[in-house]
Amino acid sequence: MRNAVVVSTWAGNPSRYLFDLCESLNRHPAGTDYALVLSANGLDYSPPSELAPLFTEIFTRDNTGYNLGAWDHAWRRLPDYDYFLFLQDDCVVLSDNWLQHFVRCFESTPKCGLVGETLPEGWGRPWTVLTSLQRMDRKDREPVKRAAWASFIRQTMAQWGIPEGETGLHIPTVVHFTSRSILEEVDGYNYGRTIEEAIAAEIGFSRKIEALGYTLVQIGRHRHSVIGHRQWPRNKFFARLKRSFVKRLARDYWVPKGQSRGF
* Beta-strand pair 57-61/112-116: unpaired
Residues 176, 227, single domain; the answer is yes
Same domain, 174 and 192: yes
Whether the full predicted model's pTM is greater than 0.85, yes or no, is yes
At residue 140, the pLDDT reads 61
**The predicted structure's pLDDT at residue 137:** 67
Which CATH number is 223's domain given? 3.90.550.10
For the stretch 154-188, pLDDT in tens is: 999 999 999 999 999 999 999 999 999 999 999 99
Write out residues in the chain with pLDDT < 50, as ranges. 236-263
Give φ, ψ of 168 to 5 degrees: -100, 20
For residue 252, is it within any domain? no
Alpha carbon dihedral 205, 212, 121, 179, in 10-degree steps, equals: -60
Sheet strands (E) in the chain: 3-10, 35-41, 57-61, 83-88, 91-93, 112-116, 175-179, 215-218, 227-229
Vertex 78, ends 67 and 70: CA angle to 5°?
10
Q: What local confidence, expressed as pLDDT, does residue 235 receive? A: 56
Decide if 227 is inside a domain.
Answer: yes
pLDDT score at 249: 36
Q: Are 5 and 22 in contact (CB under 8 A)?
A: no
**Domain span including residue 140:** 128-168
Confirm whether 254 is domain-assigned.
no
Per-residue pLDDT at 138: 66
